[in-house]
Amino acid sequence: DVARFYYIGPMFRYERPQKGRYRQFHQIGVEALGSESAALDAEIIDMAMSWLGDLGVESLRLVVNSVGDADDRPAYMAKLVDAQKALLGEMSADSRRRHEVNPLRVFDSKDPQDQPVIDKLPTIIDHLSPENRTHFDEVCGYLSDWGVGYTVEPRLVRGLDYYRRTVFEISSSVLGAQDSLLGGGRYDGLVEQMGGDDVPGVGFAAGQERIVLALPEGEEVADLDCYVVTVSRDLVPQAMSVMRDLRGHGLRCTADFQGRSMKAQMKAANRSGAPVAVILGPDELSKGVCNLKMMESGEQHEVSLEILATVLAEELQGLGHGPGTSG
């Protein structure tokens, strides 16, 4: 089974501190271990984009690439080294050092002197094995199907050597020159290198301070707009689908994840402060509808799932609780 983890904690960096890059900072990380599936890569990327969007961060830009694996790199690295040798005289001192230690890291250079050089270098995405090309195409396919905007950046390699296949970064122009918010990718083989089992993994890390700098000023913490209730635990998949759709329309909602009875769920909905409960039952779902219950008045009526987000937003406005507001 896939194991999913997250962590939040203090970290330290050796480099010279800059705005948004402090000596001590706090990192938020997400890891999923146990599968090589391209769907898992896409899920992690989708979650990262949704999370930053829900926080209110604007002007997000997602770039993705594949750095292949041990099957692709030998032949590609030989071409890359030859190309770099021919351009050493045009490189910065730091990139000449990177060329000797790890030629891929030349792509990480932000030195203006190196950019024309980087543009001339071969890219690994053009040297992927058929299997790795298929994996990357599947990742991009999921993102496209879900409406997640992205750009393929063939020169994105990430700064750590353990990455395999998918790599990605999310940035925001509101931060100026230091615009990176988070980055990550697939790191199959890393657990084994550290003495564990051969467990594939994918994840990302984000700098908390950098994200805080990107948040809109004066944002208040928003209340829940609705609580999704199911008549039975068998309907949790449908509840998840409904929640994802509502969140996609800017509505803040949650549901029960403890398998509690409908009565207990309604009590939880009341405690949450959500003004509306969306109730899903098998009979209603068979007709493509659900029940909306106004928590304060107790009024309840059926609504088609196709127009649920629109009707719910109208109901919230009528209650003086606009979607995503703080009451």
Contact present, 29 and 205 (Cβ < 8 Å):
yes
Residue 23 phi, psi dihedral angles, 5° rounding: -60, -50
Contact present, 167 and 64 (Cβ < 8 Å):
yes
Q: Say how many residues make up the chain.
A: 327
Does residue 156 share a domain with residue 31?
yes
Does residue 159 share a domain with residue 199?
yes
pLDDT of residue 222: 54
Does residue 39 share a domain with residue 169?
yes
Residue 188 phi, psi dihedral angles, 5° rounding: -55, 135
What is the signed CA dihedral for 41, 135, 184, 194, rounded to 10 degrees?
Answer: 100
pLDDT of residue 159: 59
Does residue 285 share a domain with residue 252?
yes
Does residue 231 share a domain with residue 138?
no
pLDDT of residue 326: 46
Q: Is residue 152 part of a domain?
A: yes
C-alpha distance across the termini of the chain, in Å: 40
Does residue 250 share a domain with residue 187?
no
pLDDT of residue 26: 86
Given 191, 214, 237, the domain boundary residue is: 214
Q: Is residue 91 part of a domain?
A: no
Q: Could you give the residue ranges of the DSSP H alpha helices within the chain?
A: 38-54, 73-85, 93-101, 115-120, 130-145, 190-193, 208-214, 236-248, 262-272, 282-286, 308-318
- The CA distance from 270 to 248, in Å, is 24
Residue written as tokens 């770039």?
A: 63
Does residue 232 share a domain with residue 198?
no
Q: For 217-254, give one letter per residue: b (16+ CB within 10 A) or e.
A: eeeeeeebbbbbbbbeeebbebbeebbeebbeeebbbb
Number of other CB atoms surrounding residue 209 within 10 Å: 16
- Classified as helix, coil or strand, 323 is coil
Work out how many domains the chain is built from and give that number: 2
Residue 255 phi, psi dihedral angles, 5° rounding: -155, 180
Low-confidence ranges of the chain (pLDDT < 50): 219, 326-327
> pLDDT tens-digit profile of 26-42?
889 999 999 999 999 99
pLDDT of residue 327: 45
Q: Is residue 88 part of a domain?
A: no
- The CA distance from 220 to 201, in Å, is 36
Contact present, 178 and 19 (Cβ < 8 Å):
yes
Contact present, 109 and 9 (Cβ < 8 Å):
no
Question: Over 148-216, what HEC string results?
Answer: CCCEECCCCCCCCCCCEEEEEEEEEHHHCCCCEEEEEEECCCHHHHCCCCCCCEEEEEEEHHHHHHHCC
Given 184, 214, 244, the domain boundary residue is: 214
pLDDT of residue 322: 60
User: What residue numbers bound the domain in which 270 lies?
Assistant: 226-318
Strands 226-230 and 276-280, by their bridges, are parallel
- The CA distance from 190 to 197, in Å, is 9
Does residue 149 share a domain with residue 43?
yes
Share of the chain above pLDDT 90, in %: 43
Does residue 272 share a domain with residue 304?
yes
